[in-house]
Amino acid sequence: MFDPWLLVAALIVEACVGYPHAIYRAIRHPVVWIGVALAALERRLNRPEYGDLTRRLLGIVTVVIVTGGAAGVGYLVQALAGNVSFGGALVVLVASTGLAQHSLYTHVRAVLRPLVDGNLAAARREVAQIVGRDTASLNESDVASAALESLAESFNDGIVAPAFWLFVGGLPGLFAYKALNTADSLIGHREPRWRMFGWAAARADDLVNLIPARLAGALLAIAGGGGLLVMWRDAPKHASPNAGWPEAAMAGALRIRLGGPTAYDGVMHERPIFGAGSSPTVDDLKRGLRIYVIACGLLWLAAMIVGFATGAA
């Protein structure tokens, strides 16, 4: 078990400073390195002339290589930290790179600001940075809905799940989770090119998010003063076993409706509806950001409680 006080420290450091742009310009981000490795393996191994079984097996190999490599790097850093006087600070700084409280808040606030100013075109451009759907024809409510759905789902993928696996497995667990989540984002798709090759990435990501997604949903509902019943009722509607939990919790906490049909690459997709209220407004997006901040605070509090309960130094 990872020291919960180091987890608290990593959460606080990342929330305050995020991942500095100067460092990103110099060395990029660990997730970018993982993405480069995945892209190289996919180009080499996911060949159209291979049969479905071969491509599925090679996809498994790809996930094992990238996840194992990421976990190995985490292990080496953690082992090195145990042999230096500033080891705790090193672990906290490295662990903070796997969390995304600061960046998620910044990206969603960047959508909110032009909406408040009535600049729908700018809001569409900003929301396009965080969602995969078509944004050119979204109205104000659609933009708010897209931002809230991304905020809720990314609260799990970018914060709760990384923190959970950091706590369970230290830096190796955190890095392995980030590798799996990145693999799912890049190759875990249902389109013909990736359906077989990305099968392992998608299934593994589903597995490692089973517990965190439900924790994330509970935290959002508690932070919003309601939404647990909506989460429990509506979350299973989602095709993903995990994404529906934080999204339904956010809809219930705000007493609004999220989800519904939307277009991806010009094709309309039917999606489940979470909640039974009205369509979201700009004020709902403001409230959603406040709920998000409170939920992050609750996560810190939970880690602190574990630290006191276990007597971790």
DSSP string, 254-276: HTB-EE--EEETTEEE---EE-S
What pLDDT does residue 313 have? 53
Q: How many CB atoms lie within 10 A of CB 134?
A: 16
Residues contacting 51, CB < 8 A, separation 6+: none
Contact between 171 and 94 under an 8 Å Cβ cutoff? The reply is yes
- Tens of pLDDT, residue by residue over 293-310, are 999 999 999 999 999 998
251 located within any domain:
no
Tell me the three state secondary structure of residue 58: helix
The per-residue pLDDT for 84 is: 83
| H helix count then E strand count, the chain | 15, 4
Phi, psi of 264 (to 5 degrees): -125, 120
Please give the residue range of the domain that contains residue 84: 4-210+283-310
Yes or no: say if 9 and 77 are a contact pair by the CB < 8 Å rule.
no
Low-confidence ranges of the chain (pLDDT < 50): none
Q: Is residue 256 part of a domain?
A: no
For residue 288, CA distances in Å to 131, 167, 305 come to 17, 27, 25
Query: Considering the domain boundaries, does residue 259 fall inside one?
Result: no
CA angle, corner 165, sides to 32 and 149, nearest 5? 65
| Angstrom distance (rounded) from CA 271 to CA 117 | 30
Instruction: Answer yes or no: is 267 within a domain.
Output: no
Residues 293/296/298/299 CA torsion (nearest 10 deg) = 180
- In a domain? residue 117: yes
- Say what the pLDDT of residue 158 is: 97
pTM score above 0.75: yes
Nearest to 153 by CA among 2, 20, 307, 271: 271
**CA angle, corner 248, sides to 101 and 306, nearest 5?**
50
- Packing angle of the helix pair 52-81, 30-45 (nearest 10 deg): 150
pLDDT of residue 269: 85
Contacts of 153 (CB under 8 A, 6+ apart): 243, 246, 247
Please give the backbone phi and psi of residue 6, each rounded to the nearest 5 degrees, phi first. Answer: -70, -35
State residue 139's pLDDT score. 95
Tell which residue, 184, 197, 191, has the closest CA to residue 50.
197
19 beta partners: none
**Is 243 contained in some domain?**
no
Domain membership of residue 265 (yes or no) is no
Q: How many residues does the chain have?
A: 313
Asked if residue 248 belongs to a domain, the reply is no
Per the structure, how many domains does the chain have? 1
**Spatial contact of 231 and 219, defined as CB atoms under 8 Å apart:** no
Predicted pLDDT at 312 = 59
